Amino acid sequence: MKIMAIALVAIALLLITAGCTQSSGTATTPSTAAPVKELRIGYQPSTHQMAAITALEKGWFKEDLAPLGVVNISDKVFPSGPPEMAAMLAGEIDVAYVGAAPVLTALSQGLDAKIVAGVNTQGSDLVVRNDIDYKGPESLKGLTIATFQVGSIQDTVLRDWLNKNNLTPDKDVFIKGMGPGDAVTAITAGKVDAIFLPTPSPSTVVNQGKGKVVVHSGEMYPNHTCCVLVVSGKLIREHPEIVRQIIKTNDRAVLWNQQNIDEAAVIYSTKTGAKLEDVKSSLAEWDGNWASDPNIIVEPVLDYAKIQYELGYIKKPLTRDEIFDLTFYTKS
């Protein structure tokens, strides 16, 4: 009996040890997913996304992600959010600095991605030609406004603002979807009456003496979310450590930009080809703010989902869980 008892204890200890080993192995086993050798980042030439440009040009993404196995960082520039999200849907980019509204459209079309951090709030302007006597939204009746394509953040905010001021888009006010360069050319050539674009494009028009800022986007929708940081679902599931580092690197660039605004403007101007005078003007005059905490943008983005549903851009309002993964920012 004594021998049997000793044997049973030994078996029990073996089982406990095996269980502990198995549990420990599960907790510490590294990801079996293939390593990410190249990270593809999309962005737009807007001062809203200066953190992306600074981090890319200073090599911080490459420097910070190298210990995690990332060898190469490539970037691709887009004129606005809708084509950027089309590229992400096609699997051409892994990370996107992009307006929140086109993300919703893409998610409704099956995009496997989530918003993991904010990028900026507000920061777009309505600019009208100098000969237009603007006295309020009603002054826009019968005019043509160039802005980003259908489904962009500017298109969404503008249409919602017009509706709230009893102006029917495409009936009382005509909206033309354009990229930033084409829209600036159109107003300076007198082909459209106004533009509604993110900075620095409004400053480009004003500095050429071809228009005047009459409404900031923060007046249309106070404290509205503009650009956000989106990462692919594959990256979230298979390489969460990379996602966390991307957010940290973005925060590093935001802080540096805030503390070195003149040098940041030079970096932006050199990278995008924008005139340095226009970049500096836009940063001095815009009503925007770089803000990465995704917790403060949840309600505005959910409101965008409702607005886009009412505009017929998406078939149903998306839920918080369908849009966001907030766990990475809190862990960063």
% the chain with pLDDT above 90: 87
Mean pLDDT of all residues in 237-246: 97
User: What are the two backbone dihedrals, phi and then psi, of residue 274, each rounded to the nearest 5 degrees?
Assistant: -70, 150
The phi, psi pair for 134, rounded to 5°, reads: -85, 120
* Token representation of residue 190: 């007198």
Token code pair at residue 16: 């406990």
Cα dihedral 94→98→100→101 (10° resolution):
-100
**Strand 120-121 relative to strand 289-290, pairing:** antiparallel
Give residue for tokens 């084409």: 182
To the nearest whole percent, how much of the chain has pLDDT over 70?
Answer: 89
* Residue 264 scores a pLDDT above 60: yes
What confidence score (pLDDT) does residue 17 get?
38
The string of pLDDT tens digits covering residues 51-91 is: 999 999 999 999 999 999 999 999 999 999 999 999 999 99
Alpha helix ranges (H) inside the chain: 2-28, 50-57, 60-65, 81-89, 100-108, 153-164, 180-188, 201-207, 217-220, 233-238, 240-259, 261-272, 276-285, 298-311, 320-323, 327-331
8: pLDDT strictly greater than 60: no
Cα gap 302→101, rounded to integer Å? 10
Q: Give the amino acid at 138.
A: E
Region 174-198 average pLDDT: 97
5 pLDDT above the threshold of 60: no
Give the separation between CA 332 and CA 329, rounded to whole angstroms: 5
**Strand partners of residue 216:** 125
Give the Cα separation of 110 and 88 in Å (integer). 11
Handedness of CA 245, 247, 248, 250 (dihedral sign): positive
Cα–Cα distance, 200 to 124 (Å, whole number): 9
Per-residue pLDDT at 156 exceeds 50: yes
Distances, alpha carbon 146 to alpha carbons 152, 159, 261, 270, 310, in Å: 12, 12, 29, 26, 22
Q: How far is CA 129 from CA 144, 154, 204, 328, in A?
A: 11, 19, 13, 44
Residue 2 binned pLDDT confidence (cut-offs 50, 70, 90): very low
- In tens, the pLDDT along 17-60 reads 333 333 322 223 345 778 899 999 999 999 999 999 999 999 99
Distance CA 317, CA 303 (A): 9
pLDDT in tens, 77-134: 999 999 999 999 999 999 999 999 999 999 999 999 999 999 999 999 999 999 999 9
The residue-averaged pLDDT of 135-163 equals 97
pLDDT band at 1 (very low <50, low <70, confident <90, very high): very low
What pLDDT score was predicted for residue 31?
56
130: its two tokens = 């100098």
Question: With 50 as the cut, is the pLDDT of residue 192 above it?
Answer: yes
